[in-house]
Amino acid sequence: MADAGRPELWPSITIKAVQGSFGRAALAPNGISEFLDTEPEFLNEFRSKLGQRRRIQSDADLSFFQENIPEFGEYFQHAPKDVEQSDSVSNIHVLCHLASAFLAKCWKSSVVNEDHVRYFFDELGSYFHSVFGLREHHAFHSDWPFSLIVNANSIEREGKHYRHTPRSDFHLSVDRLVSLLVEVQSEKSEGDRYRMLLQAACVARLGRQLLDDDESNPFIVVALYVKNNGTALRYLVFQPDRLDPNVSYIEDVQDWTQPSQLFGALFDMYNLTSVIQNERRSPGNIRNRIESLDAEV
């Protein structure tokens, strides 16, 4: 591994493996813990952005969700036909079809498996690509746009560092900075969930270092872990203090077999994609620094 031209960023993307493992036992040594205090204002603002109400065309066919989601009106308000609005949802019927198809698969098999989620996120990624013009749309099981460093803390490999390129079940990045990552349960022990949190913590630290223009508004990574029973654990991962490498997360529990909760999650992801696309900060600089960092790892 070559010497880094930007060594100050290496600690941000380094994972300390515990006895060669990325499991739950590795969270504490990597400074990762659940945030248990009153949520700070920046998190409240972030949640508000995820829940921003959107406009839809008055002729959209929304019968499935109007029948199954009593809270449907909390997400949308009708806009006059053929009138463009900056807060309108494009092609809402695509989202409705996607959610209803996913629910039909879950209800038929009573188990959420990788094929269900693969379909869901492949279609969702294509939708985001068409609506927001995202060039960095990533399909299922694709490599991240940059690598991490693993510090192998074991007797056989003590002091050794390795390059590790994560391959999430799904991820979304803008300017090579990952903002959303998804894992589907593939291990009974849920070891993949803790590996996801370790990876998300690295991105939170990296984003905190690169987007340092607003000390009170840290970069937030959204990480989703979809369990086989249809439960989805959503983590908001962030580094509270830029000078302190410790990372915190807040866990929200969702039941994706229920129409209201699935569509709420889908709606949040739509708004998240809109936020990261519209609030990009120094895009050329961020991309170049990540490319430079990755070349030197």
Instruction: Note whether 248 and 33 are within 8 A (CB).
Output: yes
Q: How far apart are CA 123 and CA 110, in angstroms?
A: 21
- Output DSSP code: residue 12: G
Instruction: Note whether 188 and 158 are within 8 A (CB).
Output: no
Average confidence score pLDDT of the chain: 80
Nearest partner of 123 among 163, 152, 149, 93, judged by Cα: 93
Instruction: Note whether 173 and 144 are within 8 A (CB).
Output: yes
Tell me the residue type at 238.
Answer: F
- Angle at the Cα of 121 from the Cα atoms of 116 and 127, rounded to 5 degrees: 135
Mean pLDDT of 13-34: 88
Predicted local confidence at residue 65, as pLDDT: 63
Q: Choose the weakest-confidence range: 32-46, 119-133, 268-282.
A: 119-133
Instruction: Note whether 150 and 124 are within 8 A (CB).
Output: no
Instruction: Note whether 178 and 223 are within 8 A (CB).
Output: no
Confidence of residue 39 (pLDDT cuts 50, 70, 90): very high
User: Is-above-0.75 flag for pTM?
Assistant: yes
Q: Choose the weakest-confidence range: 113-117, 241-245, 276-280.
A: 113-117
Residue range 184-209, pLDDT digits in tens: 888 888 999 999 999 999 999 999 98
